[in-house]
A and B are shown apart, each in its own frame.
Chain A
Amino acid sequence: MPFGTNPIVPKTKRISVEFLVTQLRDKIRMQVQACASVSACMQRYLTEADLHRPGLALTGYTHLFAWKRVQVLGNTECEYLENLPPVAQREAFGNLTQFEIPVMFVTHGNELGPHLLEMAEAAGIPVFTTHTETIKFMYLLRDFLEDQFALQTIVHGAMVDVYGIGILITGKAGIGKSEVALDLVERGHRLVADDVVTLTRKNNVLMAAATDINKHFMEVRGLGIIDIMSMFGIRAVRYQKRLEVLLELYLWDEITEIDRTGLERKREAILDVEVPVIQLPITPGKNITVIAEVVAMNYLLNNYGYDAARTFQERIKTRIAQKTKTGNNGPKRFVDYFEGDVE
C-alpha cells in the first residue's frame, strides 16, 4: 500500500490565545470582548482541540478537571454562580482559578461579576464574553480548533480535481504521474498539488492541498520545473480539494491479479479515513488521462446511485433465471428485425 508508513503529524502543537481570538474575530466574524488579563493572552497556549464546561469544577469537584482546555461558561455555570452568596461565589470561582486555565469564554451574553473578574486577572487567566449562544459558539470554536490541531501527513503523488472529484494519482517515481496531471490540466481540469501533497483529516474527510512552497509548480522530466498557474491561468488550479479516489499507477505484469468487473472495490485507510483505490496497470498505448476522467465520471454515477458493474450483474442474473424457466438458450440479438439502417 502506498502510504502505509507515512508519519502522521499534527498541524500545530499549540496555538496562543491571542491567535485564537484574532482568528475568531477576523475569520469567523464573531464578536468577543476581553474582560480580564488581556496582556496574558500572548503567554497562554492551547494544546487541545476539546472544549470543557466547568460546571462540576465550580461545585468543588476538581478531580479529573480538564483545565488545559478552553473553558466555556454558559447559562448553567453563570446562573449557578449568580445564585450563590458573594463569598461562596469567590470560593466556587477559586476552584477554577487555582488552575492555569488557558482561556475562559462567557457565552450567551452572560457576565461575570467584577469581583470574579479580579480573581481571573490575579490568576492571569484571560476572560472573554460573547453574545453568541453557547451551543453555536462551542460548535464554531470546536470546528476551528479541530482544524488547527488536525492530523496531517505528506504523500507523494499528483492531486487533480477532475469534474469536481478529487483524484490523487500515485505510483513509483518516474511512472508518469505528473505527465497525467499535466494532460488533465490541459483538458480543463484543475491541479491541486504535484509531488508533495499534504493531507489533513477534518470531520472525517481528507482534504488535500499543496505546501506553501510547491504550490502549483510541477516537475516534468526532461523539461524541469514549470508553473501551472502562470502557464494555464487561474482556472487550472485549486488550493484545496477533498480526496475522494486514489488512482494507483503501476507497471503491468502478468502476475498481479486485477479485478476485471469493478464489483470489488478496494479501499485504503489514510489517517483512518477510508478512500476507494483503483489500481491501474500501465500498458503501451493506454490513455491514462481519459481513464482518469472515466474514473471521475464513474464515481459520480455511483454517487448518484448507478453502479454499472452491479447493473450488468443484475441483468445476467435475470437472464439466468429466465433461462431456467423458459429453456431459452444462446445469446440473443438486441434487435429483433433489421428493417434498414434506422434507429
Chain B
Amino acid sequence: MIKKKVIVINSSGIHARPASMLVKTAAKFTSEFHIHSHGYRINAKSILGVLTLAAECGAELELEFSGEDEEQACEAISHLFEQGFGMMDTDEGGSS
C-alpha cells in the first residue's frame, strides 16, 4: 500500500470534469484507490465518491493505493493533481 499527500491546485477544485478524469484514470489500474479527507476514507474509483469530497482549491488530500500496480497508479494520479487536471489556464469556475 502506498500513501501520498497531494494538494488541489486548479482554482475551481474537483468538480465534475476533474472527478471524471480522476475516476477514468483510476479505472485503468487494478489497484484499489481511496482518498482520505477529514478523517473519512472514500472509494475514489466511484465518481460520486470523489464528488462528495467537494475538494476546493488548496485542499490537501491523502491518496491511498493498494494492489499490484499501485506505483504506476500513484504516479498517474499524482500527475493529474500536479497538472491541475489540465485546466490551469482554461478553468471556467466549474460551470461546465
Among B2-10, B43-51, B71-79, B84-92, the stretch that binds chain A is B43-51
A190 at the interface (CB under 8 A from B): no
Report the bound CA distance from A291 to B27 in whole Å.
28
Tell me whether B49 and A213 are in contact (CB under 8 A). Answer: no
Chain B contacts of A194 at CB under 8 A? 48
Band of interface residues on A = 10 to 19
Label chain A's interface by main secondary structure. loop
Distance of A195 Cα from B44 Cα, bound (Å): 10
Least distance between A325 CB and chain B CB atoms (Å): 57
Contact partner, B42, options A174, A196, A217, Cβ 8 Å: A196
Beta-carbon contact of B49 and A196 below 8 Å: yes
A154 to B52, CA, bound (A): 11
Residue from B41, B43, B52, B54 within 8 A of A7 (CB atoms): B41
Tell me the bound Cα distance from A194 to B43 in angstroms.
Answer: 12
Task: Assess the B40–A173 pair: CB atoms within 8 A.
Answer: no
Closest to A5 in B: B41
Number of cross-chain contacts by CB at 8 Å = 49
**Docked-complex contact B39 and A217, CB < 8 angstroms:** no
Bound-state CA distance A235–B61 (Å) is: 37
Shortest CB-to-CB span from B56 to chain A, Å, is 13
| CB of B10 to closest CB in A, whole Å | 19
B46 proximity list for chain A (CB < 8 A): 156, 173, 195-196, 219
Counting chain B CB atoms within 10 Å of each CB, the highest count among A7, A154, A217 belongs to A154
Measured between beta carbons, the chain A residues less than 8 angstroms from B27 are: 173-174
The answer to whether B45 and A174 touch across the interface, beta carbons within 8 angstroms, is: yes
* Residue in chain A with minimal CB distance to B54: A213
Q: How far is the CA of A214 from the CA of B39 in the complex (A)?
A: 18
| Whole-angstrom CA separation of A194 from B51 in the bound complex | 12
Q: B51 near A6 (CB under 8 angstroms)? A: no
Q: Whole-angstrom distance between the alpha carbons of A188 and B7 in the complex?
A: 43
Other-chain residue from A6, A7, A196 in contact with B48 (beta carbon distance below 8 A)? A196
State in angstroms the CA–CA spacing of A219 and B43 once bound together: 14
Q: Are A218 and B40 in contact (CB under 8 A)?
A: no
- A153 within 8 Å of B by Cβ? yes
Question: Is A9 among interface residues, defined by CB-CB distance under 8 A?
Answer: yes
Count chain B CB atoms within 10 A of each CB in A9, A156, A225 and give the residue with the most.
A156
Chain B residues at the A interface, C-beta cutoff of 8 Å: 27, 36, 38-43, 45-49, 51-52, 54
The 7 listed contacts between A and B (C-beta, < 8 Å) are A9-B38, A154-B41, A154-B42, A194-B48, A195-B48, A195-B52, A219-B48
